[in-house]
Structure 1
Amino acid sequence: MGEQVTNVGIVGTGVISGTYLDHLAKLPGVDVVAVADLDRSRAAAIADTNDGIRALTPDELYAVDDIQIVVNLTIPAAHAPVHQAAMEAGKHVYGEKPLAVDRAEAEPLLKYATVNNLRIGCAPDTVLGTGTQTARAVIDRGDIGVPHAATASFVTPGHELWHPAPEFYYQPGGGPVLDMGPYYVTSLVTLLGPVRRVTARAGQSKQQRQIHTGPRAGTTFGVEVPTHVTGVLEHESGALTTVVMSFDVWAARLPRIEVHGTEGSLSVPDPNGFDGTVEIATSKQREWTEVPVAGGYAGAGRGVGVADMARALRTGQPHRADGALAYHVLDVLETLVEAAVQDQPLDVASTVTRPAPVPLGASPETA
């Protein structure tokens, strides 16, 4: 029997689109057939250099019959409108994180998808790689006992040092919490389960930032969101995670993610990557030891969540990087910022079931 293929159209041809195009071309069960952008010349440039891909306007892409999944790679402020337009045209959608700028935008998307029997998928799909999935396998088989604590940190001096148009990172929908927080909290929920309560503090080191690269180097712009947030996530399991998310740190030696259990500790690789080394130290073996790969899609890259979703559509199974998970992560992150602003602990209203693990040796076409 020949391979079943789900056709994909991409809306938004910014920096990240090149990575998606490269990886989707290598994945089984999906085929990118069209790209669209408000600037049609950008879409045309991609179509001119990729056989089998045609350039369209966004409205044209939503309307064509041969596309089943629209991959939304627009800026955060456009995530919800593009998702809605694509679903109104009968398309399943998969988007870059966050699901929407806030819960108020995201919740109607999930309701519309449910009522109309459509699927929503959302990055990050990095948690489907061998890094996070190996860590999950270690936790699930009890190698560190019962997890009771974790730490998670992302710190950088700011994206204006490398991005030629970084303003959106400092507008609503951006900031370190909503920009990089989804990678960390999605990994933490995958490892430890949903979050029920948070507390936090936030700060902002600068009201103005300066672009350092590209044709607009030297240009300054305003900062509209907190740029340093630290807090505690209380998981439904009772585990406590300490988080630090910052655009205000020049250098640090903080671990990305560590999970601590009653019988040992686990070092988890960068959740913004798909692989990396997992290490364990236990009550009997106190030295850090590398853990053999125990799960996850090997060699995965951006877009593996799209392929996982396409397979799930064909088989009727749940997809892993789904809208409910993305909504819970957004809820946690937004509540974290609100807790900092209000200076009090806050409950997280949503919950979610951990997605199915990715077995060792799995392919997004079959697992």
Structure 2
Amino acid sequence: MLGTGTRTARKPVDDWLIGTPVATTAFMTTPGHEAWHPDPEFYYRPGGGPLLDTGPYCLSVLVHLLGPVAEVTGAAATPRAERVIGSGPRAGQRFPVEVATHVTGVLEHAGGALSTLVTSFDAHAARLPRIEVHGTAGSLSVPDPNGFDGPVELYAAGRWQPLPVSVGHPGAGRGTGLADLADALATGRPHLASAELAEHVQDAARPAGASPSRRTSSRSARPPGAPPAPTGRRRRSVPGRAAGRRSGLRCARHGSGRRP
């Protein structure tokens, strides 16, 4: 979220280059980590699974782009009861799967935009986009949230066009959050990867895989530069192993998020 990819993608949303955001899609799919990890069981125990492993990357970006999540509807599946370790000294050993390994969620943001999130340990291969944001006037292609950079493309006037890097930390890495926190303390601004944001992301993730319908309950300060506040209607929950829920969490916005 602190690299040039996500931060550059935020600017065209704030500048209304795609109009009012209507919908977002986000995908994080793999065949599972047992093929390469010598001790992969923790990925498949309570507290693991694709939603809590890679889902927070996507969710952090979605909240950064569109604002806090108010309600989540989800469905989850566990197609295989066992997995086989594929590397290391324990290769060939079987172990049980204790969590859902394919989770699909629909998130309604407080402003009304809808995000569809798919996280999976059951996709052998995929050509899915990482994140796309669709608005009333255009679309936006956002790079892999598990990285720090990547191309950002805007679809407007009938064609895709790459956007130059405009904000973010060039060459960002795992320690960038600490550097941003230090700079925020020194300058008196909110830091971007706050504890409130982390709490909100975790609160939004939990229901998609396991809980009944509910609102989020947490509060979170959002990164500076509020995105537009789209209008919309609440959608009904859809059938599935995990029903939708409203989130009791709320994220504070910096700015009104309204058109001037």
Q: TM-score, normalised by structure 1?
A: 0.60
Alignment-mate amino acid for residue 306 of structure 1? L
Deviation at 1:314, TM superposition (A): 3.9
1:276 equivalent to 2:175? Answer no
**4+ residue runs of structure 1 moved beyond 2 angstroms?**
310-318, 339-345, 353-356
Aligned partners of 1:314 and 1:130: how far apart in 2?
22
1:336 to 194, 208, 211: 208
1:346 equivalent to 2:245? Answer yes
1:157 equivalent to 2:56? Answer no
Deviation at 1:341, TM superposition (A): 6.9
Aligned partners of 1:295 and 1:316: how far apart in 2?
19
Does the 8 Å contact 2:208/2:243 carry over to 1?
no
User: Match of 2:180?
Assistant: 308
Alignment-mate amino acid for residue 352 of structure 1? C
1:228 equivalent to 2:110? Answer no
What are the residue-to-residue correspondences of 1:43-192 with 2, within 5 Å?
127-192=1-66
Deviation at 1:226, TM superposition (A): 0.3
Per-residue CA deviations over 1:183-209 (Å, capped at 9, x if unaligned) read 000000000000001111110111111
Does the 8 Å contact 2:82/2:94 carry over to 1?
yes
Does the 8 Å contact 1:189/1:354 carry over to 2?
no
What are the residue-to-residue correspondences of 1:282-321 with 2, within 5 Å?
282=156, 284=157, 286-321=158-193
User: Match of 1:267?
Assistant: 141
Per-residue CA deviations over 1:90-146 (Å, capped at 9, x if unaligned) read xxxxxxxxxxxxxxxxxxxxxxxxxxxxxxxxxxxxx01000000001111111111
- Specify the structure having the higher radius of gyration (Cα): 1
Does the 8 Å contact 2:77/2:241 carry over to 1?
no
Q: Which gives a bigger RCO, structure 1 or 2 (Cα 8 Å, sep 6+)?
A: 2
User: Match of 1:253?
Assistant: 127
Aligned partners of 1:355 and 1:156: how far apart in 2?
35
1:208 to 82, 101, 106: 82
Does the 8 Å contact 1:207/1:223 carry over to 2?
yes
Per-residue CA deviations over 1:237-279 (Å, capped at 9, x if unaligned) read 1000111110001011111100001100000000000000000
Aligned partners of 2:47 and 2:55: how far apart in 1?
11
Deviation at 1:345, TM superposition (A): 2.2
SS of residue paired to 2:60: helix
Aligned partners of 2:36 and 2:103: how far apart in 1?
22
Deviation at 1:342, TM superposition (A): 5.9
Deviation at 1:303, TM superposition (A): 1.3
Once the two structures are overlaid, the 10-residue window that deviates more, 248-257 or 305-314, is 305-314
1:244 to 118, 131, 140: 118
RMSD: 1.6
Deviation at 1:235, TM superposition (A): 0.4
Does the 8 Å contact 1:320/1:355 carry over to 2?
no
Deviation at 1:312, TM superposition (A): 2.7
Does the 8 Å contact 1:129/1:297 carry over to 2?
yes
Between structures 1 and 2, the one with greater helix share = 1
SS of residue paired to 2:178: helix
SS of residue paired to 1:218: coil
Deviation at 1:335, TM superposition (A): 1.8
Percent of aligned positions that are identical? 57
Does the 8 Å contact 1:152/1:257 carry over to 2?
yes
Does the 8 Å contact 2:49/2:99 carry over to 1?
yes
Q: Tell me: CA distance 1:354–1:245, structure 2 relative to 1, closer, same or farther (3 Å).
A: farther
Does the 8 Å contact 2:76/2:242 carry over to 1?
no
Alignment-mate amino acid for residue 229 of structure 1? V
Does the 8 Å contact 2:4/2:149 carry over to 1?
yes
Alignment-mate amino acid for residue 345 of structure 1? G
Alignment-mate amino acid for residue 181 of structure 1? G
Q: TM-score, normalised by structure 2?
A: 0.84
Aligned partners of 2:130 and 2:140: how far apart in 1?
11
Deviation at 1:319, TM superposition (A): 1.8
Corresponding pairs, count: 228
Deviation at 1:307, TM superposition (A): 1.3
